[in-house]
Amino acid sequence: MSLLSHLASGLRSLFRKRDADRELDEELSSFLETALQEKLKQGLTRSEALRQVRLERGTLASAHEEVRSTAWESFFQTSWQDLRFAARMLAKSPSFTAIALLTLALGIGVNTSIFSLVNAILIRPLPYPDSAQLVGLGQSRVQQGAGYIQTGVSYPNVLEIDRQNTVFEQVAYYRFHSYNLIADNAPERVLSFQVSAGFLPMFGVAPQIGRVFTPAEMQPGSDAIVIISYGLWQRRFAGTPDILGKLVTLDERRYTIIGVMPRDFQFTWDAPVDVLVPLALSPAETGEAARTSRDLETLARMKPGITHDQAQSEMNAVAQRLAQAYPAANNGWNITVEPLHAAYYRHLTQPLFVLLGAVSFVLLIVCANIANLLLSRITARRREISIRLAIGASRHRLIRQLLTENLLLAAIGGFFGLVLAYWGAFILRTRVIQLQGFPGIKQMHLDWRVLLYTLALAFLTSFVFGLLPALHASKTNLNDSLKESSVSLSSDSGHRRLRSALVVVETALAIVLMAGAGLLIRTFAHIVGVDLGFNPANAVSLWIDLPKYKYSTGVQQSAFFRDALQRIRAIPGVESAGSFDGQGAVFFTPGAQQRPAPGQEPTARELSISPDYFRAMGGKLLAGRDFSAADTAGTTAVAIINRTMAERYWPKVNPLGDYIVPLAKIYNTQDQAASQTLAIVGVVADIKLSTDVWKDQPEFYVPAAQVPTASASVIIRASSDPTALIPAVRSAVLEIDSAQPINHVRTLADMISANLDFLRFPMALVWIFAALALLLAAIGIFGVMSYSVSRRAQEMAIRIALGAARRDVLKLILREGLGVTLLGVPIGVGVSLALGRLIATYLYGVSAYDPLTFLAVALLLFTVALLACFLPARRASRTDPLIALRYE
Amino acid sequence: MLILKTLALEPIHGYGIAIRIEQISRGVFRVNSGSLFVALQRLQRDGLINSEWRATENNRRAKYYLLTDHGRKRLNAETRAWGRQAAAIARILEAS
């Protein structure tokens, strides 16, 4: 009851302030008037009566103030007052406000952008229902030379897992495949998943139109049905509503469309998957021989209440049972259970945290800047504060008012920061190619977590770093500060030390960021400069994928490619042409050595190439010979190894004449052709075609005639621009098979730059952070120097009046400013060296302690600091003594 | 409590309350305008007293305060409590 009336009367006086004040004033003045009358009646003079009334009963103003301040609504009234005052004060010093807001906006904006990225990828759960229970399964072993290997699961093993487990509600599996898709006579290459019946239900996602697959459709013959992606539906079928029942041709076989996936559905980080087909395995693929084909990506949904540890320990037991039951295939192989979220983002966790760390450094610089600015401002306003305290403001009220200013700064700066972050998140979401495939990316908005983070940041920087100066200011010795003129006081030196300390911290942090950036930039330069082992000029690559149902035997496949290459070589303008196809990683035994123990076998990548491949690539033969037409299926099995493989497994010995004995493919044992002893006939320099060019990988080549493939990349070297020859190449292929397209034509130069593309985004970030750090440090130094000079205007004027040359004043200020910077540099370098280990994994071609980089960074910062000090120093030296001495 | 007691006799305005308290306490309590009106505001918001504008003896406008039922009950309760406390303190002081 009383609460309600409290509320009611409080609200009344809040919104009817003038009426309430008037009423109170009326009552109070009537009270005091009556008291005065009483005194007069006692015979006192008017002035004496007034004095006594004031003493005994108080004054109107003070009584009014007392009554009002005990009411709860006064808090809001005074806060509103504070806010308006704060806005006025901020508007009165535009340069301070502008710098502070800019600094805040930059710091908060950058941090929030990066945080929203981290949020979308690492923190938020995958966008599927109950995604915490989804896990990825794989087979794994630790392998000498290759380290930890994880592969898919083979079909017979998947069946065993499904049969033997008690922890999974459902097990699903799928396989990548690409098809030639033809719809309305326009061919296109699409990426697809061949999925088990339980795949879509396990994700809890239903097709937007149509239905999912049934288990009966997982048989060869019943599997001519397909679910297409939303993108494909819009792109090739114009989003027509009666899409169900339409036909598409995949690899010259007709499939009926039975469903369309929802728009935002994405479950891979590779290129988008356009087509889902049932995984219909042939008898050969399901029999015992397939137990070593570890090529099925396997997922499972754990039962409610089951933890990852429980699932993993059960899978460990299952793996052991499998190894005992089928030792040839499963010995040494474990079954790993990994939360799906981690499986997707495993390789991103560390880089993202490094990113977050870097951006936090930027934030620290921002905090130092803001603290410095606020400190300077408080010191400048000390006179005003002292006067207010002297008049009678309570310290509590004063601190509240100062904090309100900080809060207002924080709010506005945070708002701008949010705008910046919105824009930043937009850029990340749409322009950065590497991130496009991640399931969480499309939903990378500024959600509540991000907003909370922003709020916390804004609060932290402005409020917390403003609290200390505010508290300090309220303790000012009134006498001293009221007497002061512009001459520096003893308490000032404490402030000055603090400000200098902040600048040192800022400088050190900037050095750390810039040193890291410098090392990464040099790494990038080295990566770009790596000798790739081939000549990218005037060469083009294209893919030919022969459909297996038409070219089922190795003989057919070899014949096609032999024929095609012959025709291509005959085209005028073509200098050489060759083909290659990666066969995957292989365990092998070098030479006549003993077969190593399981887990110790060396690994290498196997590639099947045509004769003249090295010529077409412009590669370099180091020893022995290239393959020729004489190397056929009937002659000795031969191989050419690359330099890394030669140096690693035949150190200081000529490998020519020795043997490789391939043992098994790591991932897939289908097409097991190259399993007999191979005689080494040549050594070539490494050819680096993949994205990680800084790694030296052992590779060996086998003739396509002996290891035929159904798909291959064809490399064509021309005497001039090779793209002009493509139509001729296309028709040459069509002459052999009128339904065979060529795909993915691009020049070798484009391929190199596409490979480097994935580094561009991190490099851009590196540049941005380094620039930001430098800019903020410069702003900090500039701000402090500016302020210091303006405070000492009188001192400068006196110096000049007494005869100091303007140049001396300039030098004096510069020396001071740079002295502080000079202190920050070695500290920053020291911290960078200490953190060297963290960054070393990302470096290539440059050590984490590289002195050249550090020197360059220190010089850069020093130069920028010099420039930042120059303007204030020049202003100081231009002080007109007459004006400055009169001015306070 | 003192204000409530004062109002228990008859409704009066602010100055009257101050005078009466000073008279009855024989000058022990001297009432400052600020503290008086702070107390009056609190009591009113708690619902123990009510106010209305009336004309005084000199025909001026003044705010008169009245005790509500709630206030009367509170006054009785507090008076009893105060009596108990005073008696207890007295007993303690007498015992030796």
- Distance of CA B69 to CAs B47, B49, B72, B82, Å? 9, 9, 5, 20
pLDDT higher than 90, residue A539: yes
pLDDT attached to residue A670: 47
Q: Mark yes or no for CB contact B62/A27 under 8 Å.
A: yes
Distance from the A39 Cα atom to the nearest Cα atom in chain B, whole angstroms = 12
- How close does chain B come to A396, measured CA to CA in Å? 21
- Answer yes or no: is the ipTM higher than 0.85: no
Q: Chain B closest CA to A25's CA: distance in Å?
A: 11
> How many residues are recorded in chain B?
96
Task: Determine the average pLDDT of the residues in A439-462.
Answer: 75
User: Measured between CB atoms, does B35 come within 8 Å of chain A?
Assistant: yes
> With contact defined as beta carbons under 8 Å apart, do A370 and A104 qualify?
yes
B55 touches chain A (CB under 8 A): no
For residues A245 and A276, what is the distance between their CA atoms, to the nearest angstrom? 15
The Cα–Cα gap between A315 and A310 comes to 9
pLDDT for res A490: 43
> Which residue on chain B is closest to A34 by alpha carbon?
B15
Q: Which two tokens stand for residue A768?
A: 């941005």
Q: A13-62: per-residue pLDDT in tens?
A: 777 778 888 888 888 888 888 888 888 888 888 888 888 888 887 788 88
Helical spans, DSSP H, in A293-446: 308-325, 327-330, 340-380, 382-391, 395-431
pLDDT at A487: 47
Q: Do the Cβ atoms of A322 and A733 come closer than 8 Å?
A: no
pLDDT digits (tens, 9 = 90+) for A723-739: 889 999 988 988 888 77
* A185 interfacial to chain B (CB closer than 8 Å): no
- The first and second tokens of residue A835, run together, are 């953190």
Residue A489, pLDDT score: 47
What's the mean pLDDT in B62-79? 87
**pLDDT-based confidence at residue A460 (cuts at 50, 70, 90):** confident
What's the confidence (pLDDT) of residue A301? 92
CA of A26 to nearest chain B CA: how many angstroms apart? 8
B32 and A56 within 8 Å at the Cβ level: the answer is yes
Contact A30 B61 (CB under 8 A): yes
CB under 8 A, 24+ apart: contacts of A692-698: A693/A527, A693/A530, A693/A532, A693/A755, A694/A526, A694/A527, A694/A530, A694/A844, A694/A845, A696/A644, A697/A604, A697/A605, A697/A644, A698/A602, A698/A603, A698/A604, A698/A605, A698/A641, A698/A642, A698/A644, A698/A645, A698/A648, A698/A649
Is residue A817 within 8 A of residue A865, CB to CB? The reply is yes
For position A827, what pLDDT does the model report? 92
Picking from B86, B15, B48, the residue whose alpha carbon sits closest to that of residue A57 is B15
A2 with B45: Cβ contact below 8 A? yes
Residue B17 C-alpha, separation from nearest chain A C-alpha, in angstroms: 10
- Chosen from B12, B13, B15 to mutate, greatest number of chain A CBs within 10 A: B15
Q: How many Å apart are CA A27 and CA A299, to the nearest integer?
A: 80
A337-375 pLDDT, tens per residue?
A: 998 888 777 777 877 887 888 888 888 888 888 888 887
The minimal CB distance from B37 to the residues A1, A2, A63 is found for A63
pLDDT higher than threshold 80 for residue A478: no
Interval A867-871 mean pLDDT: 85
Integer Cα distance of A271 and A434 in angstroms = 10
Tell how far CA A480 is from the center of its chain. Answer: 53
Q: What is the separation, in whole angstroms, between the first and last Cα of chain A?
A: 58
Write out pLDDT tens, residues A203-216. Answer: 888 888 898 898 88
Per residue in A638-688, pLDDT (tens digit) is 999 999 999 988 888 888 888 888 877 666 544 444 457 889 999 999 998
Q: Identify which of B13, B41, B62 has the shortest CB distance to residue A67.
A: B41
Mapped onto helix, strand or coil, the DSSP state of residue A748 is helix
For residue A440, is pLDDT > 70? no
Matching residue, tokens 């487990």:
A165
Task: Name the percent of chain A lying above pLDDT 90.
Answer: 15
Angstroms from B90 CA to nearest CA on chain A? 33
3-state secondary structure of A439: coil
A550: pLDDT confidence band, cut at 50, 70 and 90? confident
Pairing relation of β-strands A574-590 and A225-228?
Answer: unpaired
As given in the structure block, the two tokens for residue A167 are 């922890």
Q: What is the mean pLDDT of chain A?
A: 83
Q: In A546-694, which ranges are continuous DSSP H helix? A: 554-570, 613-617, 643-649
Question: Whole-angstrom Cα distance, residue A340 to residue A474?
Answer: 56
B30 touching chain A per CB within 8 A: yes
- The two tokens of residue A787 are 């302020």
For residue A27, the chain B residues in CB contact (below 8 A) are: 14, 37, 62-63
Please enumerate in sequence order all residues whose Cβ is within 8 A of that of A414, keeping only pairs 6 or more positions apart, or say none.
Answer: A104, A108, A454, A455, A457, A458
pLDDT value at residue A717: 94
Give the model confidence (pLDDT) of A808-832 as tens digits.
Answer: 888 888 888 888 888 888 999 999 9
Residues in a beta bridge with A151 = A139
pLDDT grade for A327, boundaries at 50, 70 and 90 = confident
CB contact under 8 A, B34 and A66: yes
| pLDDT confidence band for A302 (50 / 70 / 90) | very high
Say if the Cβ atoms of A63 and B42 lie within 8 Å. Answer: no
Predicted local confidence at residue A671, as pLDDT: 45
CB-CB under 8 Å, A70 with B34: no
Strand partners, A659: A679
Would the CB atoms of A27 and B14 count as touching at under 8 Å? yes
CA proximity to A663, closest of A574, A602, A754? A602
Does the CB of B26 have a partner CB in chain A at under 8 Å?
Answer: no
Distances (CA, A) of A228 to A442, A707, B39: 20, 35, 78
A587 touches A666 (CB < 8 A): yes
To the nearest whole angstrom, how far is the Cα of A4 from the nearest Cα of chain B?
9
